Chains A and B, each alone.
Chain A
Amino acid sequence: MSLAATDPIIRADRLSRDFRNLKGERIEAIGEVSFDVPRGAFISIVGPSGCGKSTLLRIVAGLLAPRGGDIFLQGKPVTGPSREIGMIFQSPVLLPWRTVLANVMLPAQVLKLPPSQYEQRAHDLLRLVGLSGFEDSYPHELSGGMAQRAAIVRALVHDPAILLADEPFGALDAMTREQMNTEFQRIWMESGKTILFVTHSIAEAVFLSDIVLVLSGRPSRVLDVVEVDFPRARDIDVMGTDRFGDYTKRIRARFAATSAVEL
């Protein structure tokens, strides 16, 4: 199964990657994964833990080279980190000695972009995520949800075309997580970015995505490509509908089927 688009912003072509564990044995993390991401789409990757979701994201980000296969961003092969990418990690990874503003300005500083212009953008984005007034606060003064919001602003500040998110809400409590999901949808709709979103929550993936990429366990391959066609903006109540249940059941059934084969 594959997902083919014309002029995709990300094209992953038969990617594979293995690791050596502590004993020196070769572990195949990513078996063979291909997918295309259409421009402006919100795509989630779900899969059992250890299936190489984060590894896949790091390959797209140019932080890790694939063992086999090719990865293209905007038609060009990836050779290293690109300024067209903003990354959101599992934890906020804010620098504790920097204020919120200095933290979110980090990519602009590293890329040596004109400070005045991007500082204005940082202020606008902080307002968008509800962090106005916290510019001069330090990370230890923020709650977990606020810190992750700052991390989202940091990923957007240099105006990249693509956002890569690696289970960004996994460490938050359930209530905050639901709230962040609706907010993240709004941020995506207002920013017009392409998002590749790794999560282990099937419900989160269905709620947020246009397309859910279902990966198998190690060595991972694409089990299913689920197109979710709820209208935007989606309300959190959509999660209670039968159709939402159908999507999550379909994805769960995929996992159940493969684990039965592996057993």
Chain B
Amino acid sequence: MIGRLATIASFVVGLLLWEFAIRYFHVPVYVVPPPSGIALALYRGLDAHLTDIGGYYYHFGVTAYESLLGLAIGAVLGIALGAIISQVAFFERTLLPWILAFMAVPKIALAPIFVVWFGIGLTSKIVMVVTITFFPVLINAIAGFRAASPDQIELMRSCSASSWQIFRIVKLPSALPYIFAGLNLAAILSILGALVGEFIGAQSGLGSLIVQMNNNLDMRGVFSVLVLLSAFGLGLHYLLGWFRSKFLFWSPDERNITGL
């Protein structure tokens, strides 16, 4: 209880210090806005109709759609390919070198290419998110499928289990802690991917909103969008944490984590 109070107090004190520092040193609002200005901009943005092009809901919806759909596709592809690569030696030999080579490419550098290929609509952003979320999930999934305990596999073999049964009953659950670690990373990257895509060229989304506001030197607006983005990121993190605790209640790592 005291710990929680301390957290809240540090937040309040921090924001107050920020507010007074801006006022005391007369920092121009187009350089760093005060928290009160950010709050006001946030309020104005949220005090709009859901479908209002000027309001935040519409742009938030676009960015959330791009990141969540891209994340879902990237995760499914990563898990599926990770399973195939860890199960079939032939695919490990033939696919893994390609994947490792592509992984070395800074994915953000591909964003302009995707705009050329897929236009300035939602598709280029979703492709960007898929590209950027796919790798951490894939690499973790491969490690996870390989981490299944040899004793458990031997047990399955002694029961005359097929390799599909071994995969489904032992390897897939064993890989889950690793897959969730990959998903946590991918969730943060998914928002990044969508934003970068929108920076390059877009008509909607929080990233395009930031570009517009930046051009108008509307720093209060930019910061208010950042607050929204960080809330989105945290929400995604907690959502994943909830799924994690549902699926991984048995994992020693999970049982050691309290709170959070």
Task: Let me know if A110 and B151 touch, CB within 8 A.
Answer: no
Say yes or no: is B169 at the interface (Cβ < 8 Å to chain A): yes
Q: How large is the interface on A (under 10, 10 to 19, 20 to 34, 35 or more residues)?
A: 20 to 34
Task: Let me know if B160 and A83 touch, CB within 8 A.
Answer: yes
Interface string of B41-54 (1 = CB under 8 A from A): 00000000000000
Contacting residues of chain A (78-92) with chain B, CB-CB under 8 angstroms: 80-83, 85, 87, 89, 91
Residues of A within 8 A of B165 (CB): 110
Interface string of A106-138 (1 = CB under 8 A from B): 110111000000000000000000000000001
Contacting residues of chain B (207-260) with chain A, CB-CB under 8 angstroms: 250-252, 255
From A23-31, A38-46, A93-101, A186-194, the one touching the partner chain is: A93-101
A81-B159 Cα distance, complex, nearest whole Å: 7
Given the interface pairs A80-B160, A110-B169, A111-B160, the reply to whether A87 lies near B155 with Cβ below 8 Å is yes
Contacting residues of chain B (153-168) with chain A, CB-CB under 8 angstroms: 154-161, 165
Task: Let me know if A93 and B152 touch, CB within 8 A.
Answer: yes
Contacting residues of chain A (124-179) with chain B, CB-CB under 8 angstroms: 138-140, 158
Given the interface pairs A110-B165, A110-B169, A140-B255, the reply to whether A93 lies near B155 with Cβ below 8 Å is yes
CB distance from A224 to the nearest CB of B (A): 29
Q: Which of B149, B156, B159, B165 has the most CB of A within 10 A?
A: B159
Task: Let me know if A110 and B160 touch, CB within 8 A.
Answer: yes
Question: Which one of B160, B169, B173, B250 lies within 8 Å of A81 (CB-CB)?
Answer: B160
CB distance from B190 to the nearest CB of A (A): 27
Question: Which one of B159, B170, B255 lies within 8 Å of A107 (CB-CB)?
Answer: B159
A61-B157 Cα distance, complex, nearest whole Å: 10
User: Main secondary structure on chain A at its contact with chain B?
Assistant: loop
Residues of B within 8 A of A238 (CB): none
Residues of B within 8 A of A140 (CB): 250, 252, 255
Say yes or no: is A63 at the interface (Cβ < 8 Å to chain B): yes
Task: Let me know if B159 and A110 touch, CB within 8 A.
Answer: yes
Residues of B within 8 A of A111 (CB): 159-160
Task: Let me know if B255 and A63 touch, CB within 8 A.
Answer: no
Task: Let me know if B161 and A110 touch, CB within 8 A.
Answer: yes
Please, which residue of chain A has its CB at the minimum distance from the CB of B247?
Answer: A97
Task: Let me know if B159 and A82 touch, CB within 8 A.
Answer: no
Question: Which one of A80, A93, A97, A139 lies within 8 Å of B151 (CB-CB)?
Answer: A93
CB distance from A252 to the nearest CB of B (A): 31
Residues of B within 8 A of A63 (CB): 154, 157-158
CB distance from A82 to the nearest CB of B (A): 7
A109-B161 Cα distance, complex, nearest whole Å: 9
Contacting residues of chain B (166-206) with chain A, CB-CB under 8 angstroms: 169-170, 173
A26-B50 Cα distance, complex, nearest whole Å: 74
Residues of A within 8 A of B250 (CB): 96-97, 138-140
A91-B156 Cα distance, complex, nearest whole Å: 14
Residues of B within 8 A of A96 (CB): 250-252
Residues of B within 8 A of A106 (CB): 155-156, 159, 169
A33-B156 Cα distance, complex, nearest whole Å: 27
Contacting residues of chain B (130-162) with chain A, CB-CB under 8 angstroms: 149, 151-152, 154-161
Knowing that A63-B154, A91-B151, A111-B159 are A-B contacts, what are 8 other residue pairs whose CB atoms are under 8 Å apart, sorted by A's residue number?
A63-B157, A87-B155, A95-B169, A95-B170, A95-B173, A96-B251, A106-B159, A110-B165
- What are the 5 tightest A-B residue pairs by CB atom distance, in nearest-first order? A97-B250, A81-B160, A96-B250, A87-B158, A110-B159
Chosen A-B contacts, 6 in total, with CB atoms closer than 8 Å, are A61-B158, A63-B154, A82-B160, A93-B151, A110-B165, A140-B255
